[in-house]
Chain A
Amino acid sequence: MALSSVLQSESADFSFNNDRSFSFGCRFGQTNLGFGAAPGDRLNFAIKASLGPDDKDGPERKIEFLHGTTTLAFKCWINFSVAERNHQRTASKATNFSSQEQLALLNQPAIPFVIIPQFQHGVIVAVDSRATAGAYIASQTVKKVIEINPYLLGTMAGGAADCSFWERLLARQCRVYELRNKERISVAAASKLLANMVYQYKGMGLSMGTMVCGWDKRGPGLYYVDSEGNRVCGDLFAVGSGSMYAYGVVDSGLRQDLSVEEACELGRRAIYQATYRDAYSGGQVNLYHVHSEGWTRVSQEDVLKLHHQYQEPKK
């Protein structure tokens, strides 16, 4: 592969056959890949700098790719609608409702009136698309969102091979579950399957930090699963080197009553700001929205275009 030969000449350090798979980041001390790996497949390359006694983060240091990513996912509350059961009037969004209108409707005793809160949560998933190997930008067009099935998404951070392999394996398990039990697998169960699969290889050098996002009968689901065996449920996660910048933007902009477009814009802005400051994130912003019907790909926008879009008004 072209990449490996380029790296060979610069700061990378190889110790075995390196013409096989490569990960998007640099790793060192990678041991046996587990099942199916032939001895010749071992890939060991590391940046010279890390050969020093640079052990502050311990195992985290291995996952170089985390230094070259920003992935972000958060659950959002979409405004609720008010509906009158026995009337033709269609549901209107809460944002268009003034409090007086609401009161007026309540004070009409003749009309039987029911508020059906329809909390349509969703999950917004936003990722960048840059892959780096040290200071070298390997690619600006990486797909970091893996479509497990029409209603489950997985994001990718860490070793690309690990992420895509295990998530494809997860897709297979999910499908078998669906066929056996005649109903879709829940997000909790899917993330649990993934976590259990990689836990068996704990300590063997897998590198994967993924968010499993989907919609099941309990509503939207968002789980963070990584190769250390962590599995956490949450409303908001950002993973990667640019995650801190993304957290800053999302935390300040997240509200209970965001519309879908506003939430998407928030995700987009968060990733853009992360790519602005973090050298290892960039490329395009890929945005997905997971709702009750499944996931939809909202947009893919180049960061430079977003830069002009956001900086323009300031001038």
Chain B
Amino acid sequence: MAMSYDRAITVFSPDGHLFQVEYAQEAVKKGSTAVGVRGKNVVVLGVEKKTVAKLQDDRTVRKICALDDNVFMAFAGLTADARIVVNRARVECQSHRLTVEDPVTVEYITRFISSIKQRYTQSSGRRPFGISSLIVGFDFDGTPHLYQTDPSGTYHAWKANAIGRSAKTVREFLEKNYKEEHMESDTDTIKLAIRALLEVVQSGGKNIELAIMKRDESMKILVQEEIEEYVTAIEKEKEEAEKQKKKT
């Protein structure tokens, strides 16, 4: 049965599957949710923060990492694997700056990360990385980008996406509520990301970590108070919408 084909990563199964890669994707589905939205002038990444034990210092559990001044990423899956990928990507960003005298484009660094991941699906003795990542940023010419990579080494560009636990629910929410016009406004973009996360996160703003980047600025991780502001604004909007519905 399938048992004999998931020993070695480099072996295909008769029906064309690489089982190790698929199991890696399962590992991703167990990770905490991450959501990314690409606005016109701002890009947003939000992750679900697991409740931290009382004695734990929560600053060490950062799931959103800056790769360079103009690119940052979030991931879902095995944190340890992600650390390796992030490290390599950071070095590559600087190498690129050294040889080409230009900051990386988001597409370039995504391609680099994907080829690392792909290499691990094709060499013996190694297992694939158990992470999917959302990579966002601005290119040198100012265009915003959002890319998603997965353990198999493929990458796609998205306007908004979610990975990790309940990614499907969040993606459906995004598909329903993503509106091009709203992306012009920074606050609306950020609100969309928060609303999407609130769908699946247990207890509201406390468990959300959010990072935004505006064009020509560096990444900014929002503090708890700022997130709470957005959350209260969102809840108010929700109440108003319900009141409207009740009236009609």
B101 near A192 with CB under 8 A, answer: yes
Report A-chain residues with C-beta under 8 Å of the C-beta of B102: 186, 188-189
How far, in angstroms, from A181 to B105 measured CA to CA in the complex? Answer: 9
| Cβ contacts A to B, 17 pairs, < 8 Å | A181-B105, A181-B108, A185-B100, A186-B100, A186-B101, A186-B102, A188-B100, A188-B102, A189-B100, A189-B101, A189-B102, A192-B99, A192-B100, A192-B101, A193-B99, A196-B99, A217-B141
- Residues of B within 8 Å of A, CB-based: how many? 7
- Least Cβ–Cβ distance between B94 and chain A, in angstroms: 14
B105 near A189 with CB under 8 A, answer: no
Report the nearest A residue to B98, measured CB to CB.
A192
Please report whether the interface of chain A is mostly helix, strand, loop or mixed according to DSSP: helix
Q: Mark A177-194, 1 if CB is under 8 A from B, else 0.
A: 000010001101100110
How far, in angstroms, from A181 to B108 measured CA to CA in the complex? Answer: 7
Report the nearest B residue to A233, measured CB to CB.
B101
Report the nearest A residue to B96, measured CB to CB.
A189
How far, in angstroms, from A196 to B99 measured CA to CA in the complex? Answer: 8
Report B-chain residues with C-beta under 8 Å of the C-beta of A181: 105, 108
Please report whether the interface of chain B is mostly helix, strand, loop or mixed according to DSSP: loop
- Least Cβ–Cβ distance between A175 and chain B, in angstroms: 15
Report the nearest B residue to A182, measured CB to CB.
B107
A189 near B99 with CB under 8 A, answer: yes
- Residues of A within 8 Å of B, CB-based: how many? 9
- Least Cβ–Cβ distance between B67 and chain A, in angstroms: 17
How far, in angstroms, from A188 to B100 measured CA to CA in the complex? Answer: 7
Given contacts A189-B100, A189-B101, A217-B141, 9 further A-B contacts (CB under 8 A): A185-B100, A186-B102, A188-B102, A189-B99, A189-B102, A192-B100, A192-B101, A193-B99, A196-B99
Report A-chain residues with C-beta under 8 Å of the C-beta of B100: 185-186, 188-189, 192
Report A-chain residues with C-beta under 8 Å of the C-beta of B108: 181
Report the nearest A residue to B105, measured CB to CB.
A181
How far, in angstroms, from A185 to B108 measured CA to CA in the complex? Answer: 14
- Least Cβ–Cβ distance between A223 and chain B, in angstroms: 10
- Least Cβ–Cβ distance between B80 and chain A, in angstroms: 30
How far, in angstroms, from A186 to B102 measured CA to CA in the complex? Answer: 9
- Least Cβ–Cβ distance between B96 and chain A, in angstroms: 9
- Least Cβ–Cβ distance between A67 and chain B, in angstroms: 33
Q: Which chain A residues in 178-229 approach chain B with CB under 8 Å?
A: 181, 185-186, 188-189, 192-193, 196, 217
Report B-chain residues with C-beta under 8 Å of the C-beta of A196: 99
Which 9 pairs of residues, A with B, have the shortest CB-CB distance? A189-B100, A188-B101, A192-B99, A189-B101, A192-B101, A181-B108, A186-B102, A189-B99, A196-B99
How far, in angstroms, from A189 to B103 measured CA to CA in the complex? Answer: 12
- Least Cβ–Cβ distance between A271 and chain B, in angstroms: 30
How far, in angstroms, from A262 to B70 measured CA to CA in the complex? Answer: 43
Report A-chain residues with C-beta under 8 Å of the C-beta of B141: 217
Report A-chain residues with C-beta under 8 Å of the C-beta of B99: 189, 192-193, 196
